[in-house]
Amino acid sequence: MMARTLYDKLWENHQVDDLPDGSSLIYIDRQLLHEVTSPQAFSGLRMQHRPVWRTGASIAVPDHAVPTRGREAGVAGIADLVARRQVQRLTDNCEEFSIPLFALDDARQGIVHVIGPEQGLTLPGMTIVCGDSHTATHGAFATLAMGIGTSDVEHVLATQTLKMRRQKNMRVIFDGQLSPWVTPKDLVMAMIGRIGTAGGTGYAIEYAGSAIRALSMEGRMTICNMSIEAGARAGMVAYDRVTEDYVRGRHYAPKGDMFQRATGVWRDLVSDEGARFDREEHFDAGALSPQVSWGTSPEMVCGISESIPRLEAIDDPGLREGYRRALDYMALEPGQPLEGIELDKVFIGSCTNARIEDLRAVAAVVEGRKVHDQIHQALIVPGSGQVREQAEREGLDRIFLDAGFEWRAAGCSMCLGMNDDRLSEGERCASTSNRNFEGRQGKGGRTHLMSPVMAAAAAVTGAITDVREL
């Protein structure tokens, strides 16, 4: 048999049929649902009088539109009428179609891409889909995980299959040892800065190299999460002992003899020696510094000690004009240093960086310090109810509150302007989320993407700051 990549193996293990138009029908092991992209899918099933094919293969949770405070009254207490209807409709649809639901008052509720792994719903070798582009997060477990559209959500509910085209293989290799306070977020932002937001278009990316193997599962999830920001359909990391140790004992993971049998299969979820990749990119992880975005696209990023690019240095007229528009929106100047840019708000959370490891790192920076007077609001939003409980057991919440942060309930929060946590016109925010498009965190809001420790440093200094100086 030819040497195969991890992506080749996942694809071929789930391929049901080749279709006349060159696409394929792929079997889907797990579908994750939330309140924003599922209502139309359930309506389609209802109109066609179709049942859900495998109710146990799906799990639902409200996360995007939910408030992160004042949740004592449950769904009825959601002040925003649209958000309340979305969450109530998800609840009703799950009851009607017998879909398991982690409701708003469930201790397991949280961001869909955080709860899947922590509950053991995400397992190596799976195909996983969700009506959310950051489903690539789950690829950290050697899965083929992809975001899909609403019509595809309906198709998977009805048939447990998905029509799609095979992607090309890209391998991104990070070798070397990360410097202190340089994080997985910095690795993936540096990658996007080099290859651009379209660099991964048409590819499934496998992350490899000594720096990737040394990462925790939380770190690997952060990197896979932002594969979509590089234009890729999916990102993944090969199975190893780190994966195995994380999955063992999770609530929905196999137990006992079944777990041992499963690991015997999972250990083949690696790219074979000599497997062919259509493209490779190499990075010296040890040479990277903390990264910060300056514009309105994740590819507009540079190291903290660098300055915003000068327009005259850009040869491509289209790119130069795009940079000019981004700088106008962000109210920044070409050649301006990143360090020292003053901020109004800080947001630490999202499916990119809201796990317990992220919160521990933030606590290490802010303990004994105070949120700067320049900062009007500093939010820390855990990725799930269980992350929140763990943080409180460890006393992290007291560190955050003593420093002047707001400690919230789980949800997508200020990652996107779809709930109560938003930026106002002209406000500038340090954010650990994954997107910095115009208006992403609120109309007219200006977003600087960075790692949790960099956001923590910004909170206590009032400006974009090199955490290494603290």
The per-residue pLDDT for range 211-230, each reduced to its tens digit, is 999 999 999 999 999 999 99
Cα angle 11-14-15, degrees, rounded to a multiple of 5: 80
**Is the pLDDT at 238 greater than 90, yes or no?**
yes
C-alpha to C-alpha distance for 339 and 294, rounded to whole angstroms: 11
**Is the pLDDT at 170 greater than 90, yes or no?**
yes
How far from chain centre, in Å, is Cα 37? 17
417: pLDDT confidence band, cut at 50, 70 and 90?
Answer: confident
pLDDT at 27: 98
pLDDT at 335: 97
**Is the pLDDT at 73 greater than 90, yes or no?**
no
pLDDT at 1: 72
Give the end-to-end CA distance of the chain in Å, rounded to a whole number: 54
**Is the pLDDT at 382 greater than 90, yes or no?**
yes
pLDDT by residue (tens digit) across 173-190?
999 999 999 999 999 999
Higher model confidence: residue 263 or residue 72?
Answer: 263
Region 161-166: mean pLDDT is 97
Here the tokens at position 185 are 């977020």
Nearest residue to 177 via CA among 145, 214, 135, 151:
214
pLDDT at 15: 98
pLDDT by residue (tens digit) across 426-441?
999 999 999 999 999 9
- 318: which residues sit within 8 A by CB, 6+ positions away? none
pTM summary value:
0.97
**Is the pLDDT at 10 greater than 80, yes or no?**
yes
pLDDT averaged over the chain?
97
Cα angle 19-22-26, degrees, rounded to a multiple of 5: 55
DSSP one-letter code for 251: T
Domains along the chain?
Answer: 6-164 (3.30.499.10), 172-238+270-287 (3.40.1060.10), 337-469 (3.30.499.10)
Region 384-411: mean pLDDT is 98
C-alpha to C-alpha distance for 270 and 80, rounded to whole angstroms: 46
pLDDT by residue (tens digit) across 18-64?
999 999 999 999 999 999 999 999 999 999 999 999 999 999 999 99
pLDDT at 72: 86
pLDDT at 452: 98
**Is the pLDDT at 116 greater than 80, yes or no?**
yes
Helices 396-403 and 385-393 pack at an angle, to 10 degrees, of: 90
285 in Cβ contact with 187 (< 8 Å): yes
